[in-house]
Structure 1
Amino acid sequence: MRKPVINKKRQIIFVDDDVYVLKGYQRALEPFAYAWDVYFCTTGPEALTILGRQPIDAIITDMRMPGMTGIDLLEQVIQHYPSVIRMIMSGSIEEPSAYRAASLAHQLMAKPCEIQTIFGAVEETCHLRDKLSDKRLVKIITGLKSLPSVPTLYVRLIKEFEREQPTLAKVGEIISMDIAMTAKILQLVNSAFFSIPYKVSNLNQALSILGLNTIKSLVLSVGVFSEYQNRSFSAFSIEELWQHSIFVGNLSRAIAVSANLSRAEQDEAQMAGILHDVGKLIQTDIPGFYRLLSMNTKIPEIQMEYHYLGTSHAEIGAYMLSLWGLPSTVIKAVAFHHKPIAETAFKMDSIFCVYIANHLYYDERPNNKNALTLPPMDMQLLEQIKAAHMVEEWRYMAQRIFAGEKPD
């Protein structure tokens, strides 16, 4: 098999107090020598010495180690080397320390873990990081103390979903431990966005209606938005962004169904739609940025973001989601929901579902004051993927959702 050309090798550190584990990593990584220079350390201080000596792309550490634990190590990495991608290995994500690890690491991985999985996770994250053209911004994003950590409830759900036969009962048991999350899911399932013709009063009923994959998307998005809900922004509405995100998620799924995409692609379109603007939350931590945007109403926001930051909320959000280890298809749909031409395989997919749904939200929302939020939809591109003839049908779906009806 022909290996891809790598212009510059990644610099990676593995940390584990068990030398036999490190030797296993070393053997398994031999096929990836073309892409990675790897440093193997048995202690945290040894890893910190390497970090202080040269630029490092990612560190993968065991959680339980004598002396300086993996958690202690990552706290030091965050403080002194915030742009380094952080991953931590744990034998169990159920133990209390795993929740602390999840808040420090960009990704929490269960042991044992295939080296191909680790390699793919690091490469996906580095690839998206490299797409952020402003290196200063990369450092800001990866180092922000308020950068949302992957919700611990989501981590537990993913563990349950990895079982051969995940059950709604077990999922309901996990979610019910979080009263605020339970209330939010019940609020959502009874909202106009889901058009349920009767009152849903208990969590298990909500789960059976929405399904496991929709619940997974909601738990993740609610967890992220909740970190910002008590903040006040004069030029930015968290609630309005939340409503927009749920709308785009639902319409993205409806478009995927209409376009006869697979069930997996429908799920990915919905999750990407719900999360497509998560980068805007992170931008609230850039001092004065939204005030600056609000002063320029004659140019679409997305263009202003590129002008001031050298990147946009789409790439920023995708980068964060890649740190969390979400599926690459979801990450790409978030990253390219404003410019699908950059990643298109010239066929209808989840990227286009989110792109179209996002446009239709702004085109069809009631009381639209002709705000110049987006450039016009690229109908020529939709012609190329043989989807242009469906736009009016999808527009009608958007109108139905705004009217509190089912899109289909």
Structure 2
Amino acid sequence: MRILYVGDAACLPEDLADYIGDMGDEWKVETVSDGNSAMFAVSNTTVDVIIVGPSLPDLAPPVLLGQIRTLRPETIRIALLQATEMGSTPSIRLIGVAHRLLPLPLASETVLEAIHSLEELRDLLDSPRLRRAIGRVEHLPSPPHLYFALTRALEEDEGNSGDIAQLVSGDPAIAAKVLQLCNSAFFSNGRAITDLRGAVTRLGLATLRDLVLASEVFSMKTGSNVDRAALQQRALLASRLAARILPRTSAELGATAALLADVGLLLPGVRDERQPLDPDGEPDERPGHTEAGAYLMGLWGLPMPIVEAVAFHRQPQRSSLRTFWVPGAVHVATALAGNEPVDEDYLKSLGVLNQLPAWREMAGLMSERIAEDAA
């Protein structure tokens, strides 16, 4: 395992070399001070993990990680953030190119846990069995084009509410569906929204983007017999819950991940992991819908925090994160939205079990409001 650190070496834990040494002779850490030196190193030899400091003298960290992604897509990419940055939303560009964001000061255990967790996720998504199973799907859904167009507009800080509304209105079917969802019990405050510009103004760009995503994803033609209306309703409820559970700086990631958590059910030939296996029956070789959904999200190039939350939301303890973040919030939100058990041992290990009653009450109030509006 070759690990390359880029930036000021003072950001690295002093005992990291000792920890890596205990892993065996095949584990090595090398350091370079700038982005161009990193690109030279990656171009000339295999690098398994690249860790980029919060600032570099020549390249912005998102630019370097984006170049690494193009040159060596298999390399695990980790970005370090100053403690002050963790209280604000990391740039969309950085979230889009880094597999994991780690706060400074950094502990050696945190580095190794992140690497092992991402290796496991990479192995899951690169599983030959999963590739064969997904490969049997004749037509994989294409990436939702309008969602990614809105994402690019947000990344580049371009366009006002009118411009965004015009972009959505270019697809009349999606625009109609978005307006329908805007006026649903999930988002309506009693006043009807009749135009897309009004939707942008009331909901904000991030929420509108997720509504576009829901409209595109749950309209995909995949040959699956799943009840799409029920699946979408659960997904929207889980999305709203996850956004409320997480702090504002992570709410957007959590909302999108929860919205997509069960998207694997839309693929034919997958096993619904909500249904128990028959212990006396034949082994079921079909891939589970969580890993199939995560695989699809990976193919679409969605940010790794979303892919990881989709992959592990039914087994959140498989994530090595030792803090309650997107995977945990998506687990709680999807479980409550689907009336399924919440992994209380997992929440206890993270010190947030005491918040579960409040989250249950929140989910109950949202469900009651939806039921009242539907009556």
Give the TM-score range, shorter chain: 0.5 to 0.7
Partner of 2:275: 301
Corresponding residue for residue 67 of structure 2: 115
Pick aligned residue for 1:317 from 260, 271, 293: 293
- 1:41-190 to 2 correspondences below 5 Å: 114-119=66-71, 121-123=73-75, 128=121, 130-132=123-125, 135-142=128-135, 144-190=137-183
1:142-197 CA-to-partner distances (Å, cap 9, x unmatched) read 46332111022223222222213442222111101011111111111111112422
- 8 Å contact kept, 2:186–2:237: yes
Q: Which residue of 1 aligns with 2:347?
A: 382
SS of the residue 2:338 aligns to: helix
Name which of 276, 293, 312 aligns with 2:261.
Answer: 276
Q: Which residue of 2 aligns with 1:212?
A: 205
Q: Determine the structure 2 residue equivalent to 1:96.
A: none
Q: Once the 2 structures are TM-superposed, how far is the Cα of residue 114 of structure 1 from its aligned partner?
A: 4.2
Q: Secondary structure at the match of 2:245?
A: helix
Q: Matches of 1:342 and 1:158 in 2, distance apart?
A: 29
- Contact 2:314 / 2:331 at 8 angstroms: preserved in 1? yes
CA distance in 2, matches of 1:35, 1:121: 10
Aligned with residue 30 of structure 1, among 43, 48, 56 = 43
* d(CA) in 2 for partners of 1:122, 1:168: 38
Distance in 2 between residues matched to 1:362 and 1:199, nearest whole Å: 28
Q: Determine helix, strand or coil for the equivalent of 2:229.
A: helix
**Secondary structure in 2 matching 1:321:** helix
In 2: Cα distance, 1:192 partner to 1:255 partner:
19
CA distance in 2 between partners of 1:325 and 1:216 (Å): 16
Q: Distance in 1 between matches of 2:335 and 2:309?
A: 14
Question: 1:215 deviation in Å?
Answer: 1.9
Query: Structure 1's 395 and 34: CA in aligned 2 closer, same or farther, altered over 3 A?
Result: closer
In structure 1, distance between residues paired with 2:216 and 2:206: 15
1:400 correspondence with 2:374: no
Deviation at 1:280, TM superposition (A): 0.8
Equivalence for 2:307: 331
Contact 1:137 1:309 in 2 (8 A): no
The whole-number CA distance in structure 1 between the counterparts of 2:217 and 2:73 is: 21
Cα distance change of structure 1 residues 320 and 122 upon mapping to structure 2, 3 Å threshold: farther
- Write out per-residue CA displacement over residues 181-228 of structure 1, whole angstroms, 9 at most, x where no aligned residue: 111111111111124221111111111222111222222232122123
Q: Secondary structure at the match of 1:170?
A: helix
SS in 1 for 2:265: helix
Residues 28 and 115 of structure 1 are in contact (CA less than 8 Å); yes or no, is this contact kept in structure 2?
A: no
Relative to 1, partners in 2 of residues 1:27 and 1:123: Cα closer, same or farther, differing over 3 Å? closer
Question: Do the aligned partners of residues 385 and 129 (structure 1) sit closer, same or farther apart at CA in structure 2, a change above 3 Å counting?
Answer: closer
The answer as to whether partners of 2:210 and 2:256 remain within 8 angstroms in 1 is: yes
**Does the aligned pair in 2 maintain the 1:251–1:357 contact within 8 Å?**
yes
Q: Which runs of 5+ in 2 are unaligned?
A: 5-19, 27-38, 50-62, 77-98, 100-117
RMSD, matched Cα: 3.6
Residues 214 and 271 of structure 1 are in contact (CA less than 8 Å); yes or no, is this contact kept in structure 2? no
Q: Distance in 2 between matches of 1:280 and 1:405?
A: 23
- The counterpart of 2:230, out of the listed 228, 235, 240, is 240
CA distance in structure 2 between the partners assigned to 1:112 and 1:387 by the alignment? 36
CA distance in 2: counterparts of 1:166 and 1:222, whole angstroms: 22
Indicate the SS of the match to 1:199.
Answer: coil
CA shift, 1:325, in A, is 1.2
Q: Structure 1 pair 204/272, CA: closer, same or farther in 2 (3 Å)?
A: same
Secondary structure, counterpart of 1:356 in structure 2: helix
**C-alpha distance 34-362 of structure 1, shift in aligned 2 (>3 A):** closer
Inter-partner Cα distance in structure 2 for 1:113 and 1:255: 30
What does residue 267 of structure 1 align with? 252
Cα distance in 1, alignment partners of residues 152 and 285 from structure 2: 37
Q: Is the 8 A contact 2:313 2:328 kept in 1?
A: yes
> Equivalents in 2 of 1:277, 1:120: separation in Å?
30
Separation in 2, partners of 1:150, 1:304: 35
**Range with bigger deviation, 129-138 or 186-195:** 129-138
Is the 1:348–1:387 contact (alpha carbons within 8 Å) kept by the matching residues of 2?
A: yes
User: In structure 2, how many angstroms separate the alpha carbons of the residues matched to 1:112 and 1:174?
Assistant: 30
